Amino acid sequence: MQPALRAIYTIWYREFIRFIRERSRIVGMIGQPLLYLLIVGQGISAAMGFRSVPTGVPVNYVQFMYPGILAMSVLFTSVFSGISIIWDREFGFLKEVLVAPVPRWATALGKALGGSTVALIQAAIMLLLAPLIKVPLSLAVILQLLGMLFLISLGLTFLGIAIASRMQTMEGFQMFMNFLVMPLFFLSGAMFPMTNLPAWMRVLMQLDPLTYGVDALRRLIYAGADPQVLKFLVHYSFGFDLAVVAGLTLVLGVLGSWSFSRQE
């Protein structure tokens, strides 16, 4: 068991070191959520005059969108972290890892933990913006949010690993993931509520696993809101959301480890 633990730590540490050495990557991964939150969110809010809470308590569009932006910050970073597998394959590093006397699942887990750590750092930076949009967060809520975000990012990183293990080029991986990631985000309830939607779109949102992650984040952030406000903002119990996200993470963990282990 000790070689497996050492392999997990080594791969995790390598992914983390690669991240902190690439300053342009840090700027880029923060820029996209900020673009959606501060520009897209403010623009739509101004255009719509978003005041949809039935009780009349003002919840502006940026505040509604904020939990979805947190989910988005880990979605893109986690899924696209799988591209490192293709990069390592092209430069021969992956072959050395695969022939090492350690279980391949340990390498896959190390990569997943590395990608999740990077995604969590990005999410933590986004949490620092909460006071700017007047979303009060206590220390307890922040810790709960980080725990949920880590669970979401771990599952999504395993998804990226599963797909990257079957791809031969970075261009093919990026093309495939763009068609997958954008629907996952837009159908998650991050940018609009599930109420008053066409039936077919509501079904798609219910099938989107990220919907339950966004719903859980929104419930944690607005747990102290008026019950009528909360009824508008969230749609499922936190226990149900957590069960779905945890179950999906487990399934994707098995799938990602299996796909990585099947590489030649």
Q: Is the pLDDT of residue 63 over 50?
A: yes
Q: Is the pLDDT of residue 214 over 70?
A: yes
Tokens of 51: 């005041």
Q: Is the pLDDT of residue 177 over 60?
A: yes
User: According to the per-residue pLDDT averaged within each range, which of 15-24, 32-41, 173-182, 209-218 is highest?
Assistant: 209-218
In this prediction, residue 56 carries a pLDDT of 44
Predicted confidence band of residue 55 (pLDDT cuts 50, 70, 90): very low
Distance CA 216, CA 210 (A): 10
Greater model confidence, 249 or 88: 249
For the stretch 181-191, pLDDT in tens is 888 888 888 88
Mean pLDDT throughout 17-22?
Answer: 77
For the stretch 128-145, pLDDT in tens is 888 888 888 889 999 999
Q: Is the pLDDT of residue 42 over 70?
A: no
How many Cα atoms occupy the beta-carbon half-sphere of 132 within 13 Å?
Answer: 11
In this prediction, residue 155 carries a pLDDT of 92
In this prediction, residue 57 carries a pLDDT of 42
Tokens of 24: 């342009």
For the stretch 84-135, pLDDT in tens is 777 777 766 667 766 667 787 888 888 889 889 988 988 888 888 888 888 8
Predicted confidence band of residue 8 (pLDDT cuts 50, 70, 90): confident
159 CB-near residues (< 8 Å, 6+ apart): 78, 79, 82, 252, 255, 256
Mean pLDDT throughout 23-49?
Answer: 66
In this prediction, residue 24 carries a pLDDT of 65
72 CB-near residues (< 8 Å, 6+ apart): 32, 33, 36, 185, 190
Which amino acid does the sequence have at 249? Answer: T
* CA torsion through residues 37, 138, 246, 207, sign: negative
- pTM recorded for the entire structure: 0.87
Greater model confidence, 230 or 45: 230
Predicted confidence band of residue 54 (pLDDT cuts 50, 70, 90): very low
Q: Is there a contact between 76 and 173 (Cβ–Cβ < 8 Å)?
A: no
Output b/e per residue, 62-92; b: 16+ Cβ within 10 A.
Answer: bbbbbbbbbbbbbbbbbbbbbbbbbebbeee
Distance CA 199, CA 209 (A): 18
Mean pLDDT throughout 193-209?
Answer: 85
In this prediction, residue 43 carries a pLDDT of 66
